[in-house]
Homo-oligomer: A and B are copies of this chain.
Amino acid sequence: MTDTARGSSRRYGTRPTMKDVAARAGVGLKTVSRVVNGEPGVTPDTERRVQEAITALGFRRNDSARILRKGRTASIGLVLEDLADPFYGPLSRAVEEVARHHGALLINGSSAEDPAREQELVLALCARRVDGLVVIPAGDDHRYLAPEIAAGVATVFVDRPAGRIEADTVLSDSFGGSRDAVAHLLAHGHRRIGFIGDQPRIHTAKERLRGYRTAMAAAGLPVDDAWVSLGTTEPERVHTAARAMLDAPEPVTALFAGNNRVTVTLVRVLRQCTAPVALVGFDDFELADLVSPAVTVVAQDAARMGRTAAGLLFRRLEGADEPPRREEIPTRLIARGSGEIRPAHD
């Protein structure tokens, strides 16, 4: 009895088209198109008849056809590493906000830090003819994107630079932020400082390591190989690395964590420690002020990165024909006490 959706001549799963609407309203196809798109040149009376037919049939314009015809999809793709990572939440939210403001939808996927998957995802998005792409790259060779960019897909890389290709890029100041973080620890008297970071093939991990080394060198301090550990951010790995540094004959008195997840794991590790160990983390996290001791961090502004990236993207889409830009978002040291607590007595 509920045959709103299955009019006499249409099968289940088949949707009404403009043709059906036109037939029912007794007008031409193009007139329906005009009404649907709010184009001028339709009598109020005709418009009403068409509207009635539309509601009666439950018609909804098929955007695939529209896209095919018009060439623009009003959607942008976002490829990041892991939707569940708290760093990417505000970032994707910001991108979405800007996209929405421009009437575009967001399609996204996680690369899980796998370059092959990144490429697969990006190309799938290109096949959908997204108007633009925001990519947090997992790989380091993006030449596969060259034809797409040449074809007009606006592309912005975020958090890490593109590999072997020129493109707009939005980074946070990993080097400077890390240098500041380590300088903060040095200023509080620490001399043996460990660095636990992400996998060395990741650009930010390298930059943060460089910041660490630079700060140490600037203070005229040597860096023991045993004080540096790069690798996955899995808790076990981080735990093992930290223990090694803490249980050494000359243990570190402070740790600098290369990202979010490392920091959290280190908070857990240090909580088991009897000896006081200072901790500074790269990237802020919720409740950093509430754990004890509160964790000093170098905060990055993920939302601003997302906004900036999306901004660049839409500027391109609106025809800006400038050379690729590279924006660097500054970081901010938020001292919360974990650096100061019980300055080293070395």
Q: Contact mask A68-110 → B, CB, 8 Å, 1/0? A: 1000010100000011111011101100100010000111111
The reply on A290 being an interface residue by CB < 8 A is yes
Q: Contact mask A141-159 → B, CB, 8 Å, 1/0? A: 0000011101110000000
Judge whether B109 and A63 touch: CB under 8 Å.
Answer: no
Q: How many copies does the complex hold?
A: 2
The reply on A127 being an interface residue by CB < 8 A is yes
The reply on A208 being an interface residue by CB < 8 A is no
Q: A96-B109, A105-B109, A286-B86 are in contact. Are A5 and B150 (CB under 8 A)?
A: yes
Chain B residues with CB below 8 A from A48, complex form: none
Judge whether B128 and A105 touch: CB under 8 Å.
Answer: yes
CA distance A6 to B147 in the complex (A): 9
Judge whether B150 and A58 touch: CB under 8 Å.
Answer: yes
The reply on A230 being an interface residue by CB < 8 A is no
Nearest B residue to A3, CB-CB:
B150
Judge whether A60 and B147 touch: CB under 8 Å.
Answer: yes
Q: How large is the interface on A (under 10, 10 to 19, 20 to 34, 35 or more residues)?
A: 35 or more
The reply on A239 being an interface residue by CB < 8 A is no
CB distance from A119 to the nearest CB of B (A): 12
The reply on A8 being an interface residue by CB < 8 A is no
Question: Which one of A15, A75, A264, A268 has the highest number of Cβ atoms from chain B below 10 Å of its Cβ?
Answer: A15
Judge whether A93 and B83 touch: CB under 8 Å.
Answer: yes
Q: Which of A8-26 contact B (CB under 8 A)?
A: 12-15
Question: Which one of A85, A129, A268 has the highest number of Cβ atoms from chain B below 10 Å of its Cβ?
Answer: A129
CA distance A123 to B290 in the complex (A): 42
Judge whether B89 and A150 touch: CB under 8 Å.
Answer: no
Q: Which of B2, B62, B68, B125 contacts A65 (CB 8 A)?
A: B68
Q: Contact mask A281-301 → B, CB, 8 Å, 1/0? A: 000011100111000000000
Known contacts A4-B147, A285-B286, then 8 further A-B pairs from the complex at CB < 8 Å, ordered by chain A residue: A5-B150, A58-B151, A60-B127, A84-B92, A86-B86, A105-B109, A105-B128, A107-B108
